[in-house]
Structure 1
């Protein structure tokens, strides 16, 4: 079946669904409404929508097909008139399956009286148990002590047994969104995947080894001279700092374009059963994705180049090393609604390190500007976040190698943000990221010493220029 293009709108009393299905027989349409679920089948198209509230088929409902335009319009009545149905423009959210209610096992008590045992069976049981005895003389001293301790209910010292190691029946290790994927890098040796830092071992490395290799590669790519050169040539960086992304000003409720709607229709329809800790990790990973997007947007002024896919992947640890956050131990009491400044700083530091080691422009000020962009995107809310993720996905999809990261990360992320992310949590994260104070020393590199060396050299050059000017002024009167 084909999922058609569609759009939804509402009035105080109705929901209107416009479905594009050209060249079909309207007489063959099947429409079914069940509480908040609308199902429309008109071969070869099938559409199943899950609304935020219940709808009804009544005398005010209708279904009209316009063969000239190719649109089939279904109008349904809201069960509660005046109710506002939010997020009707988030198509992936409407297509998400309805969460199943947890089933509770039902136990029926047939008889509360104790079971009756036949006299002969009872006597046999008594005779058998009476013959059971424990000869303590055959026990060792340690065993005899334990026996008497148990007999007298002593409080013996106890220790918690170490858990058994996790059982792996395959050498392959999972990765990607919620660790759902394997097999995408089995033949990576035959592709020109320049940002893959795990090589042919990508399928088999455990998470701790992926992280170790990522950190090692960042150290290898770190170039003090390149950083000092960009710090000295501040004019080129200043131009990047002055630019502002078009998503960060203007109206908040800009409708999604046709291209964006088509992207959302092509997203996978999945139900993501993420635990609270997994949900927390997804929000942290979102920060790193938006940071990479912000860097590429600033350096290209939101006009992606053939290098944009490489830049985004190289700056995202979850792509280049299959190493998503968290990058510091998480408290068991931590929730997806609250994050400490240490959590956020630890999440962004790898992105900072990579922005100072891999791409063309390597500037702390530029990294700080990207953090500010991430904060503003989050503060604008879910729709702006979705727009940025869709643009990232389009850039990766256009690349003949890096499209793989759309399959294992971006497809699911675009769907998850629409259907499961909390608007209030996104905006609160934006406020915290905006106020976050990042320390240069947290990168593990001596950035302040390098900058001081450049400033000192500038001072020397300035003094030399002043001395030369003074010398010229002294020579000119003498010559006259």
Structure 2
């Protein structure tokens, strides 16, 4: 059976399902619903949804139409309570996932474990305080050190090191714990920081970088909800995401949200430096700039995460400029203020880029991005607003980066002035 593409709208009385089914057998179509459950069947399509509100009893008030021009069913179902607003009707993976009402024990074996019925994240966070590092017992498994989304994986990357060695800078992922990952990453970034490249971009590329900074991206162009609507390609990806729920501690959620900042920074940098048109190098850029992906690093606080993002952006990509990096931080802030739907759109774009790129980049989808696309659908909007507000209060200084930027810039300024005299 095929899960069709679908959209859901609502008004005070009805929810309206638009189900794309170009190969459907119209005469063999059936629709059934009861309380929060909805089922649609029309060979070769089958769709079962778990709605966030109750429907009225099946009594003939439902309406089913076929739009031959669009090859889609239009189904209108009466709400049990008129005026009730059904939340998250655009969180398609969440609607497709059957809520699990039984409490499960969390295992550390890499086996997928379902949570109790999951609605929304209800944690409050202090983004400036370390929520404590992983302990040795938490981090290790029989297969070695753990990594990936919420440290769910181990024993995987060692098989692919020859193929992804240029992308994964951590050379011994199965035996290096998170503290060592941070230390090794910072040590290598300091070694690789190129003063001449930074100097060149500061003066020789200043017009180009000025143009990149002033370029208007999607999240800066509009404030309405149209920017948060999913297109057909994004709907297709969402409905094909795995149906998972996650049993996560507050600490794990906190660290996942910091990892989200890191990934969105890398994505925003690529969007800005390609002026909204990804290139064949976009997958490489996103993985390289994200310490979460390239070093499997778990971040401790929001300031530390932003410092790491800036450090990576001044060491690895084509354009290495302080003001550009600060602009990208603002891009991440703008994305967060757009809310959950827009964040998911960005993650789905990352997912597409890595799937379509070479060099086994899809592995980072398997380890991180796919789970992020599913999990984010259950995070409260308030959490993203809190994270955005915290970002706005943080001032990243050149001293925090640790590359002697002020000394380099002063020397560059003196040399530049001498050259034009």
Shift of 1:18: 2.4
Q: State whether structure 2 residue 286 is matched by structure 1 residue 312.
A: yes
Q: State whether structure 2 residue 138 is matched by structure 1 residue 180.
A: no
- Say if 2:5 and 2:232, in contact at 8 Å, map to a contact too: no
Shift of 1:44: 3.7
SS of alignment partner, residue 158 of structure 2: coil
Q: Give ranges in structure 1 of 5+ residues lacking alignment.
A: 104-162, 327-342, 465-480
Q: Give ranges in structure 2 of 5+ residues lacking alignment.
A: 105-134
Shift of 1:251: 4.2
Partner of 1:20: 20
Q: State whether structure 2 residue 88 is matched by structure 1 residue 87.
A: yes
Superposition RMSD in Å: 2.5
**Alpha carbons of structure 1 residues 433 and 76: separation in structure 2 relative to 1, 3 Å:** same
Bigger mean CA offset, 300-309 vs 245-254: 245-254
Distance in 1 (CA, whole Å) between partners of 2:391 and 2:210 is 22
| Greater relative CO (CA pairs within 8 A, separation 6+) | 2
Q: Provide Cα deviations, 1:187-207, integer angstroms capped at 9, x if missing partner.
A: 2244154111123x3234333
Partner of 2:353: 395
Shift of 1:168: 5.9
- Return the match for 1:217 from 165, 188, 191: 188
- Return the match for 1:191 from 120, 139, 163: 163
- Say if 2:143 and 2:154, in contact at 8 Å, map to a contact too: no
- Say if 1:8 and 1:18, in contact at 8 Å, map to a contact too: yes
Q: Structure 2-normalised TM-score?
A: 0.84
- Say if 1:290 and 1:388, in contact at 8 Å, map to a contact too: yes
Q: State whether structure 2 residue 229 is matched by structure 1 residue 229.
A: no
Shift of 1:27: 5.7
Shift of 1:66: 6.2
SS of alignment partner, residue 191 of structure 1: helix
Partner of 2:49: 49
Distance in 2 (CA, whole Å) between partners of 1:167 and 1:277 is 13
Give runs of aligned pairs for residues 243-262 of structure 1, distance below 5 A.
Answer: 243-254=215-226, 255-262=229-236
Give runs of aligned pairs for residues 283-302 of structure 1, distance below 5 A.
Answer: 283-302=257-276
- Say if 1:15 and 1:77, in contact at 8 Å, map to a contact too: yes
**Alpha carbons of structure 1 residues 9 and 346: separation in structure 2 relative to 1, 3 Å:** same
- Return the match for 1:453 from 387, 411, 416: 411
Partner of 1:380: 338
- Say if 2:50 and 2:97, in contact at 8 Å, map to a contact too: yes
Shift of 1:65: 5.3
Bigger mean CA offset, 213-222 vs 443-452: 213-222
Larger Rg: 1
Partner of 1:10: 10
- Say if 1:184 and 1:404, in contact at 8 Å, map to a contact too: no
**Alpha carbons of structure 1 residues 406 and 424: separation in structure 2 relative to 1, 3 Å:** same
- Say if 1:197 and 1:217, in contact at 8 Å, map to a contact too: no
**Alpha carbons of structure 1 residues 407 and 171: separation in structure 2 relative to 1, 3 Å:** closer
- Return the match for 1:322 from 296, 300, 305: 296
Distance in 2 (CA, whole Å) between partners of 1:402 and 1:164 is 29
